[in-house]
Amino acid sequence: MKMQRRTWLRSTLAAATAVSTATTTAVAQPASAAKNPIVLYLDMQVDPAKEQEMIRNYHSIFRPTAMKHKGFIDVKILKLRTALLGKAPAHMNYRFQLTYESEELRQKWIASADHQMAWPTIENTLVTKDYTVLLCDAI
C-alpha cells in the first residue's frame, strides 16, 4: 500500500508540474506577437544634462504614441550598465529597441505624422544624431 501511495504522489506531482509549466509558457507569449517580427536597435548617446527629459518624453510621448500604430509589438529604451564581455559601442549610453510585426508596418509608422512629432522629443536629447541603427529579423 505504501508503494502505491508513493507512485500516486509522484505521478500527481509530475502532472501538476507539467500543467504549471505549460500554463507559464502560454502566458509568457504575448497574443499580439508576430511569428517573425523585426527588431530595430539604435545605439544612442544621450546628453547627461537631458537624460531626465529623454526618459520623461519616452514614457509620456513616444511610447504611448507608438503603441497606437498597427504592427507595434514593443519598444524599450535601455540604459547601458556595463560591458560584460568585449567593448560597448563607443559613446553609447542608451540603446533603443523597437519591435514591429513587419518592416512594412514599421515604415508606415516612420512616415506617420505621429512619428514626426514623437521621435524629435527623443532625438533632441542626444549628443549627436550620428548613431548606429541595426534592423534585425527575429527568428
Q: Domain ranges in the chain?
A: 1-30, 38-137
The per-residue pLDDT for range 46-71, each reduced to its tens digit, is 999 999 999 999 999 999 999 999 99
How does DSSP classify residue 97? E
Domain 38-137, architecture per CATH: 2-Layer Sandwich (3.30)
Flag residues of the chain having pLDDT under 70.
Answer: 1-34
pTM: 0.74
Residue 30 main-chain phi, psi, to 5 deg = -65, 140
What is the rounded distance in angstroms from the CA atom of residue 41 to the CA atom of residue 77? 10
Helix (H, G, I), strand (E, B) or coil at 135: strand
**Total number of residues shown for the chain:** 139
Q: Could you tell me the three cell numbers for 20?
A: 504549471
